[in-house]
């Protein structure tokens, strides 16, 4: 494709009552009850649901064999009836099937992929290869469901507001910025550096993470992105949630010390406190559409991914 990396992706058609959506498990496996709940939510919107053949498969922590997970995902993208692809969960394993994505089918019939956490690998691969907007979010929780529905069915902009009580507010750098929103789970982005991570020039970078080890992991992952050159030309940073780090310190430093040490030298505005990513009932955001970040108002204004 010849589209500039600084240009937002082409919107896909918004969902309407009667449309079909596909449910797939490209990473870890869900439980049957959560899949049934997901189906009922989507049917409650007036949608028809097609469930991938291997959604409930189990192989270790994966939702079955790589080839089967990939087949379900590519089948959903290639099915002309399916207008959106919903993942059951993240976890681990999406990174194993990136190279088999049918990018030609995605380009030929753009449709949104909804998910977060490990699904960030797929979001980045789709953006890198197709410039198709996606949705960072899930359908677990009142706000999660409402914001995903709005992004899939509305052509109106949306606004995400700073929560002053979230830890990442303390890492803010004042200012305003406009660019296309891209990013997601920090560990997944770092895992893509040198292996298909798209350039982020012109982007507002969304960063969220959960604590699995310590603040050293955040330092390593941010440093890997900086050293790779991927953050050159960045216009701003939007910080989501970082659950598990609230009371954690390591030899006098906490999460905020690391974030400020790595992000302030980028010389771009940083907005913190967004209810995005890991943690209960996250708000959804589109990736690949124009966003306006303003620390003065504490807002991230997002143009619609649907037309």
Give the catalytic positions in this structure.
Answer: 117, 208, 278
CA distance 242 to 209: 5
Q: Is 75 helix (H, G, I), strand (E, B) or coil?
A: helix
106 CB-near residues (< 8 Å, 6+ apart): 77, 126, 129, 130, 132
157 CB-near residues (< 8 Å, 6+ apart): 301, 302, 303, 304
CA distance 105 to 268: 36
Least Cα distance to 248 among 212, 215, 284 occurs for: 215
| CB contact at 8 A, 82 and 21 | yes
Please state, in angstroms and as integers, the Cα–Cα distance from residue 194 to each residue in 15, 49, 173, 185, 226, following that order.
35, 37, 28, 17, 12
Neighbour tally for 275: CB within 10 Å: 21
| CB contact at 8 A, 248 and 255 | yes
252 class by beta-carbon count within 10 Å (0-12 exposed, 13-18 middle, 19+ buried): exposed
CA distance 270 to 169: 9
């Amino acid at each position: 494709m010849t589209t500039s990396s600084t240009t937002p992706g082409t919107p896909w058609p918004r969902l309407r009552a009667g449309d079909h959506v596909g449910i797939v498990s490209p990473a870890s496996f869900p439980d049957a009850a959560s899949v049934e709940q997901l189906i009922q939510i989507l049917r409650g919107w007036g949608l028809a649901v097609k469930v991938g053949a291997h959604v409930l498969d189990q192989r270790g922590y994966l939702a079955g064999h790589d080839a089967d997970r990939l087949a379900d995902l590519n089948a959903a993208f290639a099915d002309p009836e399916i207008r959106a692809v919903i993942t059951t969960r993240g976890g681990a394993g999406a990174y194993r099937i990136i190279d088999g994505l049918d990018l030609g089918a995605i380009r030929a019939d753009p449709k949104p992929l909804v998910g977060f956490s490990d699904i960030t690998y797929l979001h980045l691969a789709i953006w890198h290869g197709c410039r198709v907007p996606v949705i960072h979010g899930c359908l677990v929780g009142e706000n999660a469901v409402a914001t995903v529905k709005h992004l899939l069915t509305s052509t109106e902009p949306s606004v995400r507001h700073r929560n002053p009580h979230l830890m990442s507010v303390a890492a803010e750098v004042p200012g305003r910025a406009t660019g296309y929103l891209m990013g997601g789970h920090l560990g997944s982005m770092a895992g893509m550096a040198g292996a298909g991570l798209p350039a982020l020039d012109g982007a507002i970078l969304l960063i969220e993470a959960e604590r699995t080890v310590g603040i050293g992991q955040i330092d390593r992952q941010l440093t890997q992105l900086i050293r790779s050159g991927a953050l050159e030309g960045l216009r701003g940073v939007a910080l989501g949630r970082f659950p598990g780090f609230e009371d954690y310190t390591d030899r006098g430093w906490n999460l905020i010390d690391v974030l400020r040490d790595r992000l302030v030298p980028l010389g771009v505005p940083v907005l913190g406190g967004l209810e995005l990513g890991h943690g209960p009932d996250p708000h959804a955001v589109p990736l690949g559409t124009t966003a306006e970040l303003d620390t003065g108002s504490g807002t991230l204004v997002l143009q619609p991914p649907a037309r």
